[in-house]
Copies of this chain bind each other. A is one copy, B any other.
Amino acid sequence: MTSPSPDDPRERIIAVATRLFASFGYDGTSTRLIAETAGLNIATVAYHVGGKRDLYLTVMERAHQAERAALDAAAASCAADAAGLRRLLDAYVDFCVAHPEVPALWVHRWQSDAADIADLEGRYARPLIERTAELVRAAAGDGAADAEYAVMTVIWCTHGFCRGGVPGPDGRRGIDDPAEVARFRAHLHRLNDAMLGLGPGCGVPGGGGARA
């Protein structure tokens, strides 16, 4: 492992590539653009991170690691009940709002049937979904929703919100507006309670709950 110094060329390349891959996709991002943006020669990029595909897989691996780390930290202090799940949900929204490039990178994973990408899904996404679904089952009341789909609902909505926001008359409202994030979070809280079978009247009083 190399030093995590901000001047480390390899780290700078990975950071730049993460941003570009998330914005323009794999095919829409050229190695020359990555090199230019990082202020390096194209050969230097190859020297540090290998080919484009290798760089892309590194970026994806890092993104998934960060996602798992954030959720692991949150899950460690969450009970298997409605309040605990709400905190886990908040942690996920916080993470995706702070790192919108991660949901953006998921898209390409979905679009790809490549073996290395499917491998990433097996090592990161699936265990996370299964573990959380188990928590949902433990916390669910009568009339609760399908646990697996409850988890997917939160993921789909959070990714959708963080990537595109909500189309409005004045363009899309999304993660750039803290008030909109609070509104989205309140909606997710209500959804969380409803899917656990706790009914719409049992949500967070005030419905806000926006943190950080």
Q: Which residues of A contact B (CB under 8 A)?
A: 23-28, 81-83, 86, 104, 107, 110-111, 118, 121, 125-126, 129, 139, 141-146, 148-150, 152-153, 155-157, 159-161, 163-164, 166-169, 171, 183-184, 186-187, 190-191, 193-212
- Residues from chain B with a CB closer than 8 A to the CB of A187 are 145-146, 149-150, 153
Q: Helix, strand, loop or mixed for chain A's interface?
A: helix
Q: Which residue of B is nearest A184, CB measured?
A: B149
Instruction: Please pick, from B27, B121, B142, B206, the residue contacting A28 in the complex, using a CB distance under 8 A.
Output: B27
- Determine if B200 and A199 form an interchain contact, defined as CB atoms under 8 angstroms apart: yes
- Residues from chain B with a CB closer than 8 A to the CB of A139 are 210
What's the least CB distance linking A199 to chain B, in Å? Answer: 3
Q: Which residue of B is nearest A193, CB measured?
A: B208
**A27, A81, A129, A208: most-surrounded residue (chain B CB, <10 A):** A208
- Determine if B208 and A205 form an interchain contact, defined as CB atoms under 8 angstroms apart: no
- Determine if A202 and B191 form an interchain contact, defined as CB atoms under 8 angstroms apart: no
- Residues from chain B with a CB closer than 8 A to the CB of A143 are 199-201
Given A146-B183, A194-B195, A208-B196, are A126 and B167 also a contact pair (CB < 8 Å)? yes
Q: Which residue of B is nearest A29, CB measured?
A: B27
- Residues from chain B with a CB closer than 8 A to the CB of A129 are 166-167
A121–B197 Cα distance when bound, in Å, is 35
- Determine if B152 and A153 form an interchain contact, defined as CB atoms under 8 angstroms apart: no
A150–B211 Cα distance when bound, in Å, is 18
- Determine if B164 and A160 form an interchain contact, defined as CB atoms under 8 angstroms apart: no
- Determine if A210 and B81 form an interchain contact, defined as CB atoms under 8 angstroms apart: yes
- Determine if B86 and A210 form an interchain contact, defined as CB atoms under 8 angstroms apart: no
